[in-house]
Amino acid sequence: MNPIISPPFPQTTLSQVIHRILACGKITNDDHNFLLRAMLSEQPLDEQDQNQVKLVFDRLKMGLLRVVD
């Protein structure tokens, strides 16, 4: 669980962002950008984090998450 630079909220970890997205069923543009930055970071994600990010994007594709601003 890697902390990522410039998250939507200071000192927020990837797991915290993903948990919040899945718990409320909503994803913001900031959340989306945060996940993209995490995936493209020079510091690779571990397998658990990769699976969590994939879960969020799969749910987004299936229409199970609502995009909000």
Q: Tell me the domain boundaries of the chain.
A: 14-62
CA dist list (Å): 4 to 45, 49, 55, 56, 61 = 10, 12, 19, 17, 24
Q: Write the pLDDT tens digit of every residue in 19-68.
A: 999 999 999 999 999 999 999 999 899 999 999 999 999 999 999 999 99
Q: What is the pLDDT of residue 10?
A: 60
Q: What is the pLDDT of residue 37?
A: 92
pLDDT band at 16 (very low <50, low <70, confident <90, very high): very high
Q: Phi first, then psi: what are they for 20, rounded to 5°?
A: -65, -45
30 alpha carbon, distance to own chain's centre: 9
pLDDT band at 17 (very low <50, low <70, confident <90, very high): very high
CA dist list (Å): 3 to 28, 62, 68, 69 = 19, 28, 24, 23
Q: What is the pTM of this model?
A: 0.79
Q: What is the pLDDT of residue 12?
A: 80
